[in-house]
Structure 1
Amino acid sequence: MRIALTILAVAALASVPLWLRDPYLLNALITTGIFVIGAMSLNLLLGFTGQLSLGHIAFFGIGAYVSALTSLGFDIGLPGDLRLVHTPWPPIVGFVLAILIAGLCGYFVGLLSFRVRGAYFVIVTISFAEVVRLVALNWVELTQGPLALTNIPSIALPLPGLSELTLRTKMQNYYLVLVVALIAYLLIARLVHSHFGRAMRGLMENETLAVSVGIDVTKTLTLAAVISAAIAGAAGSLYAHYIRIIDPEVFAFINTVTMVIMVISGGKGSLAGPVVGGLIFGLLPVALRPIMAPEAQWIAYGGVLIAILFVLPRGIVPSLAQRFRRRRSGTTALAPVALAETAVKERA
């Protein structure tokens, strides 16, 4: 049944551009889908290892800048009157490099920060995100600083026997984001249901017991951080090539908070949770904008979040799944009683 629901959801999402003609709403769906990918990557850490990273937007931004600079090229000075010149490469190469370099950054951050726990880990991740933001802001020769990188080319897909397909339209970008999101979802699903995924869950539930059975804490958490950072880097690359302009505001703390809200409201530790939470809180501002003032929108946004967590404290997906299982088990338990009552009535 779970597979059938997943296929049905993918089919429904794939049909959206065929009947949705409003470019504004389609744009909102594309940007929401990109942040859903980022939320899925965060859920791998928060939901399956129990590690709260409040600097996760750093990997998103690193992916965006790496991909943009790879496709735009750069010319920067080095010590000793030397210069480093990079000619533009195809955007698809930038997309791959964004995944690799973001994953590499995740490796180094995980290797250092997973030696601490709790609040110390949160502080390390926030500090890393702030350092990366300051580098993007002040290294003007490379990143253009607050002036932003502009005219970032759209992603072009090579076609065998033909030239290439440049994804310029909103419909093309929508399907690109949908495909990347589906790949990320399947990758995370395969990962969490593997031996490695069971090790992650074991560390989250009882680290002392997990260590006693031979699970390497640092290695497991660092590998999770690498995969999580790589997926976030892919989302950042998609964002850069779709928006086509990047500045240091991409590292804003509010973007990390948005991802955390998507994960918590949808249900951390569930595969579909970030998707459901992401669609709700990604599209909610779009629904509220025509009917509310900006201040009232934030109040309503917070009110909806509080209401969801009050009614469904474990998040939307886990709480509804738990209620469905209870109702189903209750019906199954009542079945023998109903049969017995029917037999008594027949004998009478």
Structure 2
Amino acid sequence: MTRFIAPLFLVVFALVPLGLKDPYLLNALIITGILTICAMSLNLLLGFTGQLSLGHVAFFGIGAYVSALTALGFDVSLPFGLRVTHEGGSPLMGFVLAVGLTGLCGYLIGRLSFRVRGAYFVIVTISFAEVVRLVALNWVELTQGPLALTAIPNMVLPVPGLGDVALRSKMQNYYLVLAVAAVSYLIIARLVASRFGRAMRGLKENESLALSLGINATRTLTVAATISAAMAGAAGSLYAHYIRIIDPDVFLFSYTVTMVIMVVSGGKGTLAGPLVGGILFGLLPVALRPVMAPEAQWIVYGAILIAILFLMPRGIVPALESLALRRRPAAAEAKIPAKNAEAGANP
């Protein structure tokens, strides 16, 4: 059943802007889509390898800053009298560099921390995120610190017959985010279905048995961390070129909490889980904002999350799968007496 969720989401959300006239709601969908990409990338670690990263927002922020600085340019002085100057370039090149550099950061963090996993990995990721936030806050010459990087150019894509097209409208950015989300989903789906994906799940379920079968735990987890970080960096790049202003608040821990909530509520270790959780908890604040005060919104937000975790401990998608499996045998058993009755009536 769940294999139809992603194509259904793609079709539905591809049609949404055609009938949506409210720019506020379209903006909410764009931000929700960006956070959902981050949730999918985190699910690759948390859901399929069992490794919790509480510093995942670091890769999101690095991607945003790398892409923005690549497009804006910079002029910074380094130790030993060195100076680095960049005049600014294509936002698309910034996107590529954001994916590459965040993937490299994920690789380095993985190599350092996966030799001692568990709580040590969690501590390393939190520390890394805090260090990166402090660098962004205090390296004013490069990042403008709390003053923020402003006037970040829109994403520019080459279109055959039209040349380079700047994506200025909300609808253009919406479809760009939807396309990146679809590609990210396909990459994760192919990865999970491969031999490498079986190795990831083996390490999550029974690491000792996986090691006895010859699976290299450090290498497998490091590759997963690299891909996960690269996807988070891609989301950060999209965010920077859409919002067009970023500051060190992009590294706030609340973003990581939001990603974890999306993964856990939707169903970690499932492909559709981050999509369902991302849409639910991305749009829930938007739905609550017109009808209640901010304080009440957080109460309802928390109450819904607690209810989901109590009633569906494994998440929404696994709960729906279990419900569908329970109904199939019941339907099959109901058909057997009917067939026997027909056979008795027609000897």
TM-score (norm 1): 0.97
Using the TM superposition, give the Cα deviation of residue 291 of structure 1 relative to its aligned residue in structure 2, in angstroms: 1.1
Matching residue of 2:138: 138
Using the TM superposition, give the Cα deviation of residue 310 of structure 1 relative to its aligned residue in structure 2, in angstroms: 1.6
Matching residue of 2:292: 292
> Aligned pair 1:110/2:117, yes or no?
no
Distance 2:117 2:81 in 1: 44
**Which amino acid is 1:333 matched to?**
E
Matching residue of 2:320: 320
Distance 1:333 1:116 in 2: 51
The answer (yes or no) to whether the contact 2:23–2:170 under 8 Å persists in 1 is yes
Provide structure 2 residue ranges, at least 5 long, that are not aligned to the other structure. none
**Which amino acid is 1:53 matched to?**
S
> Aligned pair 1:32/2:32, yes or no?
yes
**Which amino acid is 2:248 matched to?**
P
Matching residue of 1:237: 237
After superposition, what is the alpha-carbon deviation per residue over 1:94-116, rounded to whole angstroms, capped at 9, x for unaligned?
Answer: 00000000000000000111112
> Aligned pair 1:302/2:302, yes or no?
yes
Distance 1:51 1:80 in 2: 40
Distance 1:8 1:35 in 2: 19
Question: Aligned to 1:76, what secondary structure does the other structure show?
Answer: strand
Using the TM superposition, give the Cα deviation of residue 162 of structure 1 relative to its aligned residue in structure 2, in angstroms: 3.6
> Aligned pair 1:283/2:283, yes or no?
yes
**Which amino acid is 2:185 matched to?**
Y
TM-score (norm 2): 0.97
The answer (yes or no) to whether the contact 2:95–2:237 under 8 Å persists in 1 is yes
> Aligned pair 1:209/2:198, yes or no?
no
**Which amino acid is 2:131 matched to?**
V
Using the TM superposition, give the Cα deviation of residue 3 of structure 1 relative to its aligned residue in structure 2, in angstroms: 5.1
State the superposition RMSD in angstroms.
1.3
Distance 1:201 1:4 in 2: 22
Distance 1:162 1:287 in 2: 38
Question: Aligned to 1:133, what secondary structure does the other structure show?
Answer: helix
Query: Identity across aligned pairs (percent)?
Result: 70
Distance 1:188 1:325 in 2: 25
Question: Aligned to 2:80, what secondary structure does the other structure show?
Answer: coil
> Aligned pair 1:179/2:201, yes or no?
no
Using the TM superposition, give the Cα deviation of residue 255 of structure 1 relative to its aligned residue in structure 2, in angstroms: 0.3
CA change 1:197–1:179 in 2 (3 A) is: same
Question: Aligned to 1:171, what secondary structure does the other structure show?
Answer: helix
**Which amino acid is 1:71 matched to?**
A
The answer (yes or no) to whether the contact 2:2–2:321 under 8 Å persists in 1 is no
Question: Aligned to 1:116, what secondary structure does the other structure show?
Answer: coil
Provide structure 1 residue ranges, at least 5 long, that are not aligned to the other structure. none
Give runs of ≥4 in structure 1 deviating > 4 Å. Answer: 1-5, 344-347
Question: Aligned to 1:54, what secondary structure does the other structure show?
Answer: coil
Matching residue of 1:149: 149
**Which amino acid is 1:262 matched to?**
M
What count of residue pairs does the alignment treat as equivalent? Answer: 347
Using the TM superposition, give the Cα deviation of residue 8 of structure 1 relative to its aligned residue in structure 2, in angstroms: 3.0
**Which amino acid is 1:237 matched to?**
S
Using the TM superposition, give the Cα deviation of residue 341 of structure 1 relative to its aligned residue in structure 2, in angstroms: 4.1
**Which amino acid is 1:322 matched to?**
S
Matching residue of 1:125: 125
Question: Aligned to 2:95, what secondary structure does the other structure show?
Answer: helix
Distance 2:104 2:201 in 1: 23
